[in-house]
Amino acid sequence: MSNMLGARRRLCLLQVVLLLFAAVLLVADACLTSEYRRKLEATVEMPLDADVFRVPEGYNAPQQVHITLGDQEGTSMIVSWVTANELGSSTVMYSEASPDPEKMELCVEGTHTRYDYFNYTSGFIHHCNLTNLKYSTKYYYAMGFGHTVRSFCFTTPPMPGPDVPFKFGIIGDLGQTFDSNTTLSHYEANGGDAVLYVGDLSYADNHPLHDNTRWDTWARFVERSAAHQPWVWTAGNHELDLAPELGELAPFKPFAHRYPTPRRFAPAATPFWYSVRIASAHVVVLASYSAYGKYTPQWEWLRAELARVDRAATPWLIVLVHSPWYSSNAYHYMEGETMRVQFERWLVAAKADLVVAGHVHAYERSHRVSNVAYDIINGRCTPVRNRDAPVYVTVGDGGNIEGIADNFTQPQPGYSAFREDSFGHATLEIRNRTHAYYAWHRNQDGDNVVADGVWLTNRYWMPTDDDTS
Ligand SMILES: *[C@@H]1O[C@H](CO)[C@@H](O)[C@H](O)[C@H]1NC(C)=O
Ligand SMILES: *[C@@H]1O[C@H](CO)[C@@H](O)[C@H](O)[C@H]1NC(C)=O
Ligand SMILES: *[C@@H]1O[C@H](CO)[C@@H](O)[C@H](O)[C@H]1NC(C)=O
Ligand SMILES: *[C@@H]1O[C@H](CO)[C@@H](O)[C@H](O)[C@H]1NC(C)=O
Ligand SMILES: *[C@@H]1O[C@H](CO)[C@@H](O)[C@H](O)[C@H]1NC(C)=O
Ligand SMILES: [Fe+2]
């Protein structure tokens, strides 16, 4: 009797194992359009008197503080902030030892700029490049000397190397709605060390006259994260602020003045493509709204940059771009196609690991696919599975005022692994040279819930591993 029960139990167990195995096989080749979708309701901007927009107290207090990497190696950090009443000091004091601004022993003098946009005049925008920093080191820093001093801290990224763990946050198209606040709060709770930001920041241009006070409120809103860890910026279409009807003919004027990048400190110079090396990642930032045709500066730069990537030193090759190359959403359909045609073959040849885009206000992840065989007469223009190809994710789902992109094309194309109409953010946790855990978190869940997660294996060290099949 007990033997029979035991046998039956073993049989059950076997069945369960077989079922699980079958399920895994099914899932392995699946295209999933998630049933879960965000309730269709308006995305509402937080009111001007919301807590997140509060101007810090004190005369001429530094506000909108944010940091980004100052060079490719991660030993410089650019600190930016705005003073509203008068110019004030552009000095940053900093220290490894002391959180007390009076006792900070290192000092660097920054520069300042300001700009007019129609009838708006910006505050004084300060930028200061802190150089010769040590790796993996906590620094306290302060500014506003002579008026109101505020202090913050950041930890520099670890020295680049093949097995250096690091956790990135991935956010796009954030805006400044109540949903944006949820996205940022969930990211903070999930605890990354730096943010890969894939473009479209404030959505100021959705307001009459591109109301640039919305650039100010946005920067005050994200200060709680961006003052403490570097955000790596990508330019989106909402950074263009090109408005001939307002006499504004210079593209990217507010963005270029406010958000320096490692390649762009003086507001006069505006290359929006650049790269940084963080831990075991080489991150290439591309500009969807700057020229990328053959022989253009961006095209020349990317070709040379991909040759400079040393995968033995930094195994993870990650590319950021605003307009996605593989998106099956009806919104902004195929807008990224010309750039895909221009650059995809280079990324496949380079065995890039991951391409992250924003722009489309929904979430999507692809299998490893490429579409590079076509040559104008051969008719081979369908994406095919390709283990040399990157995984493409679209995370334009930060929650901005324009709402959700709730119209996926039907049926789901074979290259699309997972797609969902929800707001959220992603994280990429690099463990070592071979493994990284990528996860997407929808806002409806608790911050720590993974709605779509996949272990990525490195294309340089494990080129034949079928990680996303
Ligand atoms: C935004 O989120 C933060 C942190 O969760 C919270 O303290 C704050 O009250 C929120 N503000 C608004 C306007 O929702
Ligand atoms: C700019 O012009 C608009 C429309 O005429 C007006 O409502 C707004 O108050 C002006 N802003 C400033 C800073 O003068
Ligand atoms: C910051 O300083 C470092 C070290 O001098 C330099 O290499 C880098 O180009 C500077 N960054 C900017 C944006 O000026
Ligand atoms: C969804 O997109 C299709 C094109 O793929 C379009 O024909 C249709 O009108 C769109 N539906 C809505 C509700 O926007
Ligand atoms: C890399 O990390 C993965 C996931 O944590 C682990 O399974 C693997 O053994 C690690 N590889 C090495 C060489 O440590
Ligand atoms: Fe966009």
pLDDT tens-digit readout, 353-412? 999 999 999 999 999 999 999 999 999 999 999 999 999 999 999 999 999 999 999 999
pLDDT for residue 23 = 42
Q: Active-site residue 332, yes or no?
A: yes
- Give the whole-number percent of the chain exceeding pLDDT 90: 87
The sign one gets for the Cα dihedral 27, 439, 462, 309 is positive
What does the pLDDT read at residue 469? 63
Average pLDDT of the chain to the nearest whole number: 92
Supply the pLDDT for residue 3. 45
With a 6 A CB cut-off, is 434 part of the ligand 5 pocket? yes
- Local confidence band at 208 (pLDDT 50, 70, 90 cut-offs): very high
Can you give the pLDDT at residue 35? 77
Query: What domains lie within the chain, and their CATH numbers?
Result: 162-199+272-468 (3.60.21.10)
Write b or e for each residue in 329-363: b if 16 or more Cβ atoms lie within 10 A of its Cβ, otherwise e: bebbeebbbebbebbbebbbebbbbbbbbbbbbbb
**Reported confidence tier of residue 132, pLDDT bands at 50, 70, 90:** very high
CA–CA gap between residue 307 and residue 252 (Å, rounded) = 29
Q: What is the pLDDT of residues 229-253, one digit of tens each?
A: 999 999 999 999 999 999 999 999 9
Report whether pLDDT(220) > 70: yes
Q: What does the pLDDT average to over 295-300?
A: 95
**Other Cβ atoms within 10 Å of 369 Cβ, number:** 23
Q: Report whether 445 contacts 368 (CB < 8 A).
A: no
- Is residue 455 lining ligand 5, measured as CB closer than 6 Å? no
Q: For position 18, what pLDDT does the model report? A: 42
Task: Say what the pLDDT of residue 369 is.
Answer: 98
> Ligand 5 centroid to 433 CA: how many Å?
8
pTM here is: 0.93
Q: Give yes or no for residue 211 CB within 6 A of ligand 2.
A: no
pLDDT tens for 315-348 read: 999 999 999 999 999 999 999 999 999 999 999 9
Closest CA to ligand 2's atom 12:
119
| Residue-level pLDDT at 445 | 85
Average pLDDT over residues 25-33: 62
- Integer CA distances (angstroms), 215 to 53, 113, 178, 240, 391, in order: 11, 15, 16, 13, 32
Q: Which residue has the tokens 């930060």?
A: 398
* Lookup: tokens for 305: 């940059």
* Residue 407 Cβ contacting ligand 4 at under 6 Å: yes
Cα 254 to ligand 2 centroid, rounded to whole Å: 17
Q: Which of 44, 48, 52, 178 to mutate to test the pocket of ligand 1 (most atoms within 8 A of CB)?
A: 52
Ligand 4 neighbourhood includes 448 CB (under 6 angstroms): no
Each residue's pLDDT tens digit, 280-290: 999 999 999 99
Q: What is the percent of the chain with per-residue pLDDT over 70, rounded to a whole number?
A: 91
Distance separating alpha carbons of residues 184 and 386, to the nearest angstrom: 34
User: HEC states along 68-102?
Assistant: EECCCCCCCEEEEEEECCCCCCCEEEEECCCCCHH
